[in-house]
Structure formats: C-alpha cells, structure tokens
Amino acid sequence: MTYSSFFQNQPVVGGVNGARVVVSRSFADFTPQASFDIKKCDVHRLEEGPPLKAELTREQGLQYYRIMQTVRRMELKADQLYKQKIIRGFCHLYDGQEACAAGIEAAINPSDHLITAYRAHGYTYTRGVSVKEILAELTGRKGGVAKGKGGSMHMYAPRFYGGNGIVGAQVPLGAGIALACQYQGNDQVCVTLYGDGAANQGQLFESFNMAALWKLPCIFICENNQYGMGTSMERASASTDYYKRGDFVPGIRVDGMDVLCVREATKFAADHCRSGKGPIIMELQTYRYHGHSMSDPGVSYRTREEIQEVRSKSDPISMLKERMLSNNMASIEEFKEIDVAIRKEVEDAAQFATSDPEPPLEELCNHIFHNNPPLEVRGTNPWVTLKSVS
C-alpha cells in the first residue's frame, strides 16, 4: 500500500468560487524519525524493565495508525451489521483496545505464534486476514476466513490459533504451542492472551507452573480492560496486580493504550523468552468502548461519562495521531486520506459480507479432520447422513 501519493508534490490550488484548496507538502518536509518518552512499566521479579524511550519512524507511525484505524472501523461496521440482525449470535468487539494488537504484532515475527480468547477480530486482522474475510465470517458466508462456519469467536490463520470460546481455555493451549517451539528449537515464541475476567481460572496457574518448570518460550498476556463481562476487576479479584499473579514467573504491567509502550514491552518480553529464561507475564491496562459482547449495553455497571473520559484522554488512535502531528511526522490531510481509504475498504468488505452466499448444507461437516478419507457423519437424526471431506 502506498502512502499518500496524492499529496506528494501537489501544487497549491487557488480557491475560486468555493473550489477546494490543496496545500502542498512534500515527503521531504516531514520528520523521518522521532524519539518519544513512554510510561515506565511496573515490574515483578525483574531487575529492570522495558526502555523508557521508543523510536518511531514516519513509516511505522503511518502503518500503526492504519492498522488501528482499520480495526476500529471494522468493529464499528460489525456493530452496525449486528444491530441490523445481519450478524447473529456471539460478537465481542475490540474497539478501544487496538494498541494492544498493533503493538504486539509490531514486536514479534510473522513466524511467531498467537492465541487469544473470543475478542479475536483485531488479532485476526493483524495476523494477516483481510477485513473482507473477517466480516464475511461474522455474517456466516462462504467467503469467510473459516468458510462461514466459525463466526465471531472461531477465526484462524497461519500461526494464529483463534478465537477460543471457553473462558481461559486458550492459556494451556498457548503453553502447548510454546512447548512445540521449544521442542523444535526454532527460536519462536507463543503469545498467549486472556482477559482480566479469565485471570482467576485454575487452568492459568497450572499453565504458569508447567511453563516455569520447563522454561517455555511463552508470553502470557492479560488484556486488562477493567471489566470481566459486567463485573469490575475490583469486585472479581482479591488482587488486581495481574502481572504479579505468576508468583515465580516474572511480570510487567504496561500502558495498553499506547502502541509504542506495548511494542517496547512485547519486544522486551520476546527477548526474555528467546534467551531461554522461560515464560513472562504482561498485563496490558486497556479499555473497551463497547459492552462485553453485543448483548451487553455496557452502561449498567459503568457510566457513559467514564467511557467518554477514556475516549477523550487515552484513545490509542488519537494519541498516536497527535504525537505524529506535533512532531511534524505527517499532515492532517494525509490522515484524512488514510481514513477515506479505510472507510472504502470496510464498506466494500461489508458489501461482500452481505451479498456472498452462505455455505451449502452439504459442506456443513467438511474439514472435521485435516487429512482423512471422506466419512459419513450422522445428522440430527439417524436417517440424515452428511459427508465430511477433508
């Protein structure tokens, strides 16, 4: 994707009779790179934490902005399609938390692995799946990433193991993926994500224990968005220091609304794992703008004023945009052009997601096994049989 070619070397156009004025700015006018102070991370069982400064190039900044804005627009479109009853069933939206997905992906390699809970749309996108395939999956269409049979919570991509619908169930699976990395000696890590609502699950602590014993290259990340379903973390957890929950496992608490903070902390955590020191826990302090899921209005246990305050003071997209503008790393026109392109991409994807056909009944049971001869599958009654083709 090319950056703002329209605004490069444009002549100044005079505004006559309401004609549009285009202000000329060449790429050479912009600051190519800048250094930013980032919030200090709280640490547990570590002598030092991630750096307090982060370097950002103009290209990186525009890339992060594009990723976060795409996820935001995609989620707002999913909200609209759900309210129109085009998307049905479970649907957990990610808007507000975009800096987590963008920052993590910027710090790991494409060959590394990632597994998350059911708020998975953002990670599906950062792991390489198109908006079109994500929205088509949400509407249950053939062109969806899981061929319309997975829905909101079950999307997958190479080295992305979903979307998992059972609270906390992905954490031991992530430890298993990290065990495979260690066994194969491929210098890869597994990022295993869960929410503050899952942080009190017994299976987490079993996974922490095994990962520590075997020194598995696993980054356990708690995306603490302050509320598990409709319960604030203070009402659900005797200790809200989730980064300390591993006890014998080192931990860091990170500003999850700052993409640079997340990126630097994840780099630090990945280096820790790759150097053979075993697992590490990260707590990303973030916030969701929507309710827990689309069935939750999200304002019965918190105020609209609280949500608005976070939007106005800590929005991850606005923070990055302001940083870049104040350091002359991009222009307002450039951001507007990116926004227009993203809106079009999401609108086109929504058009596809509402017009693509649903998968036919005969494909219902396909892909039960990865590589198996065709087999018969019993339907809802003994006289209906379906075939499963790998």
What is the distance between the alpha carbons of residues 370 and 22, in angstroms, rounded to a whole number? Answer: 55
DSSP 277-323: ---EEEEEE---SS-SSTT--S-SSS-HHHHHHHHHHH-HHHHHHHH
The pLDDT score that the predictor gives to residue 378 is: 85
Q: Which residues, other chains included, contact 120 with Cβ-Cβ below 8 Å and sequence gap of 6+?
A: 92, 152, 153, 155, 162, 163
Give the chain's mean pLDDT: 93
The pLDDT score that the predictor gives to residue 6 is: 32
pLDDT in tens, 96-114: 999 999 999 999 999 999 9
Question: Token digits for 110?
Answer: 């494409």
Among 89, 113, 48, smallest CA distance to 294 is for 89
Give the mean pLDDT of 2-12.
Answer: 37
pLDDT in tens, 328-369: 999 999 999 999 999 999 999 999 999 999 999 889 899 889
The pLDDT score that the predictor gives to residue 381 is: 84
Please give the model's pTM, rounded to 2 decimal places. Answer: 0.91
pLDDT at 33 over 60: yes
The pLDDT score that the predictor gives to residue 248 is: 97
- How many Cα atoms within 13 Å fall on the side-chain side of residue 167? 11
The pLDDT score that the predictor gives to residue 2 is: 39
Q: Is the dihedral of CA 179, 180, 186, 192 positive or negative?
A: negative
What is the distance between the alpha carbons of residues 284 and 195, in angstroms, rounded to a whole number? Answer: 9
The pLDDT score that the predictor gives to residue 84 is: 98
DSSP 209-270: HHHHHHT--EEEEEEE-SEETTEEHHHH-S---GGGTTTTS-EEEEETT-HHHHHHHHHHHH
Which residues does residue 57 pair with via DSSP β-bridges, in sequence order? 33
Distances (CA, A) of 60 to 7, 188, 263, 270: 19, 23, 11, 19
pLDDT in tens, 140-194: 999 999 999 999 999 999 999 999 999 999 999 999 999 999 999 999 999 999 9
* Contact criterion met (CB below 8 Å) for 294 and 93: yes
Pairing status of strand 375-378 against strand 385-388: antiparallel
- How many Cα atoms within 13 Å fall on the side-chain side of residue 291? 13
Among 135, 139, 127, smallest CA distance to 76 is for 135
Give the mean pLDDT of 233-245.
Answer: 97
pLDDT grade for 25, boundaries at 50, 70 and 90: low
